[in-house]
Amino acid sequence: MSEKPKVSRRHFLGTAAATSGLSALPLRSSRSADRDVVVIGAGIAGITAARLLREQGYSVTVLEARSRIGGRAYTESKTFGIPYDHGCAWLHSADINPLTDLVRGAGYDVQDEGSRDIWLHFDGQEASDGDYASAGEAYGMLQDRLESWSGERDMSVAELSPPNDRFDRLAHARLGPLEAGVETSSLSVADVNVQEGTGVEYMVPRGMAKAILDGIGGVDVELGKPVDLIDWSGDAVAVSGTWGTLTARTIVITVSSGVLASGHLRFVPALPEWKHSAITTLPMGVLEKTGFLLAPGSITDADTNTLYVQGSETAMIWDYLLKPFGSDLVIAFSGGEDARDLHKLTDQDATEAALEGLISVFGSDIRKAVRKTHLTNWADDPWALGAYAAATPGNLKSRQALSQPVAERLFFAGEAVIPEWATQATAAWLSGRQAAEDIIRKLG
């Protein structure tokens, strides 16, 4: 790791990316197939790959199961009347993140949201000075143990540094379920350490997902066309769904590792064992948001943008983003097993659980101030089945293996690959570019 990161939502990230200027060319012949390339999924990876391939003159069709583009990158303003990112919302390590220039180049402003204070509430009251110090020491100790790891044998973060008290558990929650979407008992030390972090954290007031997609540029997408069969037994790859069949010389698969592991997308012949192993050792973590739009001025005494609340020493830890960009929005984050448990509740009860944390801090009047609410549900979204992929201990190599093509015809891209930027929009963008460049070299 290049530098001990500042307190921020993404603690271990970093690497830069090469760019290439690809000019538009006339369409090439697709020979014996319907298209040169079929891209499955119109998220950041798929749109990026399709855009670059189309600029080089290849015939490309993008198939998207949803009724919209973006995948887990989704900004909309209908719910709260202001831009709201359901999924990715941070430019982590923004000073070296290639998407920072992409977003700015598309005309979007960014705002530093990584250097604000953190506010702690335990047992219904703000933490004491001693508790703040203990929480900081616990998080610093966890960072130190990660940085001093020998690298000889990968293990879980919890095995490397077992949590012993509530301050340790808060540190583990920040790094595990509230960051990676999994418990630290399932989180690979190697996977954490390979992701460098500079501590520079930006958000995009007009919506990060929209900014990235605008920066990439548009391509034609066929919406509402889920793929359930990929037959690569013949000279061309046949991609099929209830809508019909399309053939291509090569395909780019950008669906999540969760969708790949679910079996809903069938391959004929089956994928080789090394690819199957890569998929199954990159299970999806869960990170969900519960959004609250409050009446103007409802929260005036908070000088922070991050609030952690734990009702008792063994209770769930909530992570609240307070009033981003000066808005009246509060976003409650839940992750890992806690988020999965919330999914077992009704939407009303899950929302109430998040609201109770706010009430413990701001009093019962905050309930009257709530104007609108919204819950994400990435875990049960059939086209995602989670937030993003976390490598299990001993399986960091699976990220690289997932990115490798099969038979030089099935190419893979998405947030699960590019280890240094894994789980982020940046990995999706970089891997989409890489898949396109590999196909260009393959097809000539």
Give the pair of three-digit tokens for residue 239: 């991609």
**CA 81 from centre of chain:** 24
Q: Are 38 and 149 in contact (CB under 8 A)?
A: no
Question: Distance between CA 92 and CA 200 in Å, rounded?
Answer: 7
> Position 94: which residue type?
A
φ/ψ (deg, to 5) at 62? -105, 125
What residue ranges define each of the domains in the chain, with the CATH number in brackets?
1-12+32-444 (3.50.50.60)
Residue 431's Cβ-side half-sphere holds a number of Cα atoms within 13 Å equal to: 34
Q: Using alpha carbons only, how large is the chain's radius of gyration in Å?
A: 22
**160 Cβ neighbours under 8 A, 6+ residues apart:** 145, 146, 149, 189
* Per-residue tens of pLDDT for the chain, all 444 residues: 333 333 333 332 233 333 333 334 444 545 589 999 999 999 999 999 999 999 999 999 999 999 999 999 999 999 999 999 999 999 999 999 999 999 999 999 999 876 577 899 999 999 999 999 999 999 999 999 999 998 889 999 999 999 999 999 999 999 999 999 999 999 999 999 999 788 899 999 999 999 999 999 999 999 999 999 999 999 999 999 999 999 999 999 999 999 999 999 999 999 999 999 999 999 999 999 999 999 999 998 765 689 999 988 889 999 999 999 889 999 999 999 999 999 999 999 999 999 999 999 999 999 999 999 999 999 999 999 999 999 999 999 999 999 999 999 999 999 999 999 999 999 999 999 999 999 999 998
The pLDDT score that the predictor gives to residue 304 is 61
The pLDDT score that the predictor gives to residue 117 is 78
